[in-house]
Structure 1
Amino acid sequence: MMSKMYLKITVPSGIFYENDVEIVTLKMSRGYIGIQPGHSTMFSNIEIGTLTIGWENKPGTEKYFIGGGLIYVLKDRINIITDDIVNVKDIDIQRAIEERDRLENKLRENKYSAADAYSMELKLKKTLLRIDTYNKK
């Protein structure tokens, strides 16, 4: 039996996920990283992308879209803090496609302040990655 480590994912409303896991894979600034028991201590930002709990393509593996956050890793514990995470099975793909189209049209209008345009571009990036994560499930 593989060794496991404790994973806790916290969102503003409380604990989103809490369980012992074999591996967690998520995107950081230099790309995707898999964290297993015994990993060195680390504190870092999480990039927008897919968070996978368990081994890819194995029964029981769970996939989530995560819209960024923070991660703190100890030898046998992972703590993730985020305000945007959803199970891939729960993504409303039609809504995401409509949101993508709406944001792309608004950005084409080019009548927004730099701050508003930046905010819309960030929302569009999250929406595109949410769609991509859904399509890879």
Structure 2
Amino acid sequence: MSTVHTDIVTPAGKVYEGDVHMVCVRSKNGELGILPHHLPIVAPLEIALVRLKHEDEKQVDYVAVHGGFIQVSREKITILSEAAERKADIDVERAKKAKAEAEKQLDTLHETSEGYAEALKKLKRSELRLSTAALNDTVPEA
């Protein structure tokens, strides 16, 4: 089985670097599953989970990615995001607090109000952090 080198990079630096068998990510146009030697693409990403499956197909790394772009070449996958966090680096208490604050903001704002889109984005990010932190690091047996 072959692998592809994968980097996840933010303005603060590299969040992930390694060789993986498959990268699963949600683009603005839907889910992508990228294997080694994939045709080159560039796609905008949603605020979503990135799953990095290893060659043994039992271990998987999870990274919460807050938008950005994925660039795929035959030799390398690069994800550029304004923010990204590995599962182990997520502060669950901080994410719970951010979620409660975002929900409170959304309760007081109308969909057309200034600040509504930012509060919704904050809610999505905090929910992604919480769901990522709760994941298991192994792929279930079929």
Question: What TM bracket, shorter-length normalisation?
Answer: 0.7 to 0.9
Answer whether contact 2:40 2:73 (CA < 8 A) is retained. Answer: yes
Provide the rounded CA distance (Å) in 2 between the counterparts of 1:129 and 1:119. Answer: 15
The aligned residue for residue 26 of structure 1 is 25
Structure-2-length-normalised TM-score: 0.83
The aligned residue for residue 35 of structure 2 is 36
The aligned residue for residue 135 of structure 1 is 134
The answer to whether 1:11 aligns with 2:3 is no
The Cα shift of 1:112 comes to: 9.9
Provide the rounded CA distance (Å) in 2 between the counterparts of 1:15 and 1:99. Answer: 24
Answer whether contact 1:42 1:72 (CA < 8 A) is retained. Answer: yes
Cα gap change, 1:135/1:110 in structure 2, threshold over 3 Å: closer, same or farther?
Answer: same
Deviations 1:67-106 (A, max 9, x none): 1111111112111111211111221222211211111112
Identity, % of aligned positions = 27
Worse-superposed segment, 16-25 or 43-52? 16-25
What's the Cα RMSD here?
2.2
The aligned residue for residue 140 of structure 2 is none
**Structure 2 letter corresponding to 1:58:** K
Provide the rounded CA distance (Å) in 2 between the counterparts of 1:38 and 1:126. Answer: 31
**Structure 1 letter corresponding to 2:9:** T
Secondary structure of 1:124 counterpart: helix
Cα gap change, 1:114/1:16 in structure 2, threshold over 3 Å: closer, same or farther?
Answer: same
Q: How does 1:1-137 map to 2 (within 5 A)?
A: 2-55=1-54, 58-59=58-59, 61-110=60-109, 114-137=113-136
Cα gap change, 1:37/1:105 in structure 2, threshold over 3 Å: closer, same or farther?
Answer: same
Q: How many pairs are equivalent? A: 135
Cα gap change, 1:15/1:97 in structure 2, threshold over 3 Å: closer, same or farther?
Answer: closer
The Cα shift of 1:65 comes to: 0.8
Structure-1-length-normalised TM-score: 0.85
Secondary structure of 1:115 counterpart: coil
Answer whether contact 1:49 1:133 (CA < 8 A) is retained. Answer: no
Stretches of structure 2 that go unaligned for 5 or more consecutive residues are 137-142
Secondary structure of 1:75 counterpart: coil
Provide the rounded CA distance (Å) in 2 between the counterparts of 1:128 and 1:18. Answer: 24
The Cα shift of 1:37 comes to: 0.7
The Cα shift of 1:123 comes to: 0.9
